[in-house]
Chain A
Amino acid sequence: MRFITELYSNPRVRLLALTLLCLAILVGLIVLYGRGDYSMHGFVYQDF
């Protein structure tokens, strides 16, 4: 735990961690909402 705290006090590590967090959020959003709706279920026959 102490090791992590010490590591996190390094500005470069913090920048890297924050960047990775932001990227992870972005990837999560893409996974959740990046799929379009391409479903098709066939059609209803229309008579006259």
Chain B
Amino acid sequence: MKRLHLLACMVTVLAAGIGLVGGTRYARAAEARYMYSLPSIPLPIVLKGGALQREAFRHPDLLPIYGSSEISIQGDFSAVSVFHDFPTGFAPFEVASGGVNALVLAQQVAAVGPEIRGKKVVISFTPAVFFDKMIHPGNYRDKFSALQAYLLAFSDSLSFDTKQAAARRMLDYPQTLENDPLLRFALQRLANDSPVNRALYHLVWPLGQLRLVLLDLQDHRATLQYVWGQPLDPDVPHRPAAIDWSAMETKAEKETLASTGNNPFGIDDARWQEFWQKRFQTYKAAGVSEPYVLSMIQNSTEWTDLDILLRVLRDLGAQPLILSRPMPAAFLRALGVSDRVSQAFYARLHQVVEPYRMPLVDFAAYENDKYFSMDPDAHPSARGWVTIDETLDAFYHGTLQ
């Protein structure tokens, strides 16, 4: 009788094993097949998953771009529109959504793992994230992915120091770890630098790997469910064509000027009316001052998070382009904030990035061009997008100066 039970269990394990291996292979094939036809909107399975991000790095004609709303808010001149048909040989694969910060990006990139080694990737952010003390817990919780957090905490491609720095920051958001005692325990052991804690971390390592197997299967399942539920056409045409950047700039400039007439800051008319006009009055009334903004920029934990992200990129051997945006100089000046703040931002940015010897484009030259961004959060205008598109094209083709 016992032998029969044992045999039944063995048959089940064998069948489950075959099913899982076959299912994973099928899922990976489906992911590769539909990679190009995924819609260019922030998809939770992309943002919180790992499978599709890894798959993107397997396609040399896709340029992964990680960022926040400065990437995900799209228009006729945004990268996904301009490079949609692979005119110069590539299309962007965007992993971007509003409210994302460098700590979230670090986990998303860590989730790609060794697949990123030697590959080009763009990391985008705006100065606006450095105006806050730290990312809002609600925003962090919203973008938090257990899969990505586990992939970072139990990565064997990242150095212990990098994992430790990330763990210390991840523990600042305990709500995301409330229902996951294993992850919480591992992060606490990583954060506490002692031989006992290191030993305990290595002790739970196999459990972490086991949990990762399950989370990875969930990821493939979610991707398959999405692919099956959408009318996706895997045959996306590649239409090589030369881009006339000069003509595009002229067209974009015309569009930008036509939509920024109701305010002196070059802010998009609709945005000014809906949001920024009121915000400007509130800031003025609250006396947003130079020492206040300067202290926010100097003390923001975003610098720590950016450093963690850069460490992750370095450890994984990626070839990133760090893409910042110009400070909203005209808007800040109107609030009585001098250029000292902008200078402090650019100086700190270079100080953090330069030790990693990664190319950095800060667009500082455009900080007095009020038409580069469509609002003080540095969301690019049509004209700003064309300049960014040119930068992306040059980076992909290795001609970035």
Contacts and interface: CB of A to CB of B under 8 A. Distances in A.
Chains A and B form a bound pair: yes
Interface of A: 11, 14-15, 18-19, 21-23, 26, 33-44, 46-48
18 contacts: A14-B4, A18-B5, A19-B12, A19-B15, A22-B9, A22-B12, A23-B12, A23-B15, A36-B218, A38-B44, A38-B48, A40-B48, A42-B142, A43-B143, A44-B139, A46-B132, A46-B139, A48-B128
Contact of B47 (A14, A18, A40): A40
Contacts of B132: 46, 48
Most buried by B among A21, A43, A47: A43
A26 B23 CA distance: 15
Contact of A44 (B97, B138, B218): B138
Contacts of B12: 19, 22-23, 26
A34 B218 contact: yes
B136 interface: yes
B167 interface: no
A43 B139 contact: yes
B221 A36 contact: yes
B265 interface: no
B356 to A, nearest CB: 26
Given A26-B16, A43-B139, A38 B99 contact: no
Nearest to A18: B8
B8 A19 contact: yes
Contact of A48 (B9, B146, B296): B296
B238 interface: no
B395 to A, nearest CB: 27
Interface size class of B (residues with CB under 8 A): 35 or more
Interface in B126-147: 128, 131-132, 135-136, 138-139, 142-143, 145-147
Contacts of A38: 44-45, 48-49, 222
A21 B296 CA distance: 61
Nearest to A22: B12
B75 interface: no
Contact of A35 (B5, B98, B142, B222): B222
Contacts of B98: 42-43
B328 to A, nearest CB: 10
B212 interface: no
Most buried by B among A21, A34, A46: A46
Nearest to B139: A43
A46 B136 contact: yes
The 3 closest A-B pairs by CB, nearest first: A43-B99, A48-B131, A18-B8
